[in-house]
Amino acid sequence: MADPCRPVLSAAERATDAFELFSLASAGVRKSVPFHSAVWTAADPETGLITAPMLVENLGDGEGCATYWESEILDENVLPFRELARASLPAAGLRAATGDLPARSARFRRLLLGRGVHDELRAVLRVGDRPWGLVSLFRNTGAFRPDEIALLADLSGPLAARLRTFTQPCESAPGTDSPAPGLILFDESGEATSVNAEARHLLALLPKGPAFPSPLGLKLPVWVIGTALQARAIADGRDHGRARVRIRTTEGRWLVCHASCLTGPGGRTGPVALVIEPATAADLAVLIAEAYGLTSRELQITQLVARGMTTAEIAAMLFISPHTVRDHLKAVFAKTRVSSRGELVARLFTEHYWPALPEPVRLRSPGRPPVQARIPYRPAVAGHIGRQETVQGE
């Protein structure tokens, strides 16, 4: 019997970006799991919040999409994505999960029932415990069967692994040219009330997707609205996550959108302040590492290489042998498809992706008192690796 996952994954390998991946995967899944409408969206792997790109199929007006994500964040629902991301099976059907009583879900009552939806099948595309994408399939007649749910669950890991490859840095992309962070204020009702010029500039760089009118005369992308809603949910005690998401621009650069709920008179919940600004190296280190499939140790060594440290220095700092350091570097070179340290730094850490490491570093050797080492900042570039050192200790 043919494997229904194989054509979907083969199509995914042909995708040149995340949006095309969603389009090809959706078309492939539909052949084995019929549905009437769908949402495929990328997610920030550290917060689980929606980010660009998003593919919306046959869901009508954009206002419905905004209501859907508002319900996801603010309502008590069955099968919220944040719980599905931690579940043993990363996919579930609403009717199967509620004993054929979907009205137990506020989202179903508020949004789906009025649109003629009979069942929803949702999945988190994840690698390990990190969600890279979210999927909702809607069927107007008939419930999703267990084998259909299992198929989407089987696709979760491979599609997530393919999706995260599109987070690799784009060295040729131009900068954002934004002199200061963008700021948007939302009132207690969630209405955008003010915006600065920098925010308008940065919003114009975001990819196309569901966006909604505001009194400010500009449309706000669903990813921005979702971040503001998350800040409100945290302030109200409905969530304990973070209102922070990374969004890739149409030019391949990364922005960070983060929000916080302010306190009004008498301690009452006040407006939400949302900041959007170019991502720093610290914002992107994990994304870059996982895009290339680096382990935490490989990322650590790569960051030290980017500071110009020698194999011996790295070995001493991490209390491992130089041979082990070389083995890790060999694995890093293979995963990132480079052949030298300079090429590695040029590929992963351009000026927009420089790794942030705290100084000084506190070292403790087993059975010995702490040693304070100051490793100087020595940029490593192609063709030159700094080798001078200043180490203070015993």
Q: Which of 132, 167, 202 is the last residue of a domain?
A: 167
Confidence of residue 40 (pLDDT cuts 50, 70, 90): very high
Which whole number is the average pLDDT over 216-221? Answer: 91
Say if residue 108 is in the same domain as residue 202: no
Say if residue 66 is in the same domain as residue 193: no
Say if residue 208 is in the same domain as residue 297: no
Please tell me the distance from the alpha carbon of residue 372 to that of residue 360, in angstroms, as a whole number.
7
Which of 21-25, 191-195, 284-288, 336-340 is least confident?
284-288
Q: Which of 226, 252, 279 is the last residue of a domain?
A: 279
Say if residue 101 is in the same domain as residue 158: yes
Say if residue 69 is in the same domain as residue 124: yes
Q: Which amino acid is at 53?
A: P
Q: How far is CA 318 from CA 45, 286, 363, in A?
A: 27, 19, 9
Say if residue 12 is in the same domain as residue 161: yes
240: domain CATH number?
3.30.450.20
Confidence of residue 329 (pLDDT cuts 50, 70, 90): very high
User: Which tops the pLDDT comparison, 379 or 106?
Assistant: 106
Is 376 a residue whose pLDDT tops 60? Answer: no
Confidence of residue 63 (pLDDT cuts 50, 70, 90): low
Q: Which of 279, 300, 316 is the last residue of a domain?
A: 279
pLDDT at 61: 56
**Location of structure tokens 């070389």:** 326
Cβ contact 381:342 at 8 Å: yes
Say if residue 11 is in the same domain as residue 123: yes
Which whole number is the average pLDDT over 355-380? Answer: 42
Cβ contact 275:181 at 8 Å: yes
Please tell me the distance from the alpha carbon of residue 305 to that of residue 325, in angstroms, as a whole number.
10
Please tell me the distance from the alpha carbon of residue 135 to that of residue 147, in angstroms, as a whole number.
17
Say if residue 208 is in the same domain as residue 326: no
Say if residue 138 is in the same domain as residue 58: yes
Confidence of residue 52 (pLDDT cuts 50, 70, 90): very high
In a domain, 261, yes or no: yes
* Residue of 136, 127, 211 lying closest to 165 (CA atoms): 127
pLDDT at 381: 39
Q: pLDDT > 70: what percent of the chain?
A: 84
Tens digits of residue pLDDT in 251-307: 888 899 999 999 878 878 889 999 999 988 778 877 888 888 888 899 889 888 888
pLDDT at 226: 92
- What is the secondary structure of 260-322 as a DSSP string? EEEE-GGG-EEEEEEEEEEPPHHHHHHHHHHHTT--HHHHHHHHHHHTT--HHHHHHHHT--H
Structural domain of 53: 5-167
Say if residue 42 is in the same domain as residue 133: yes
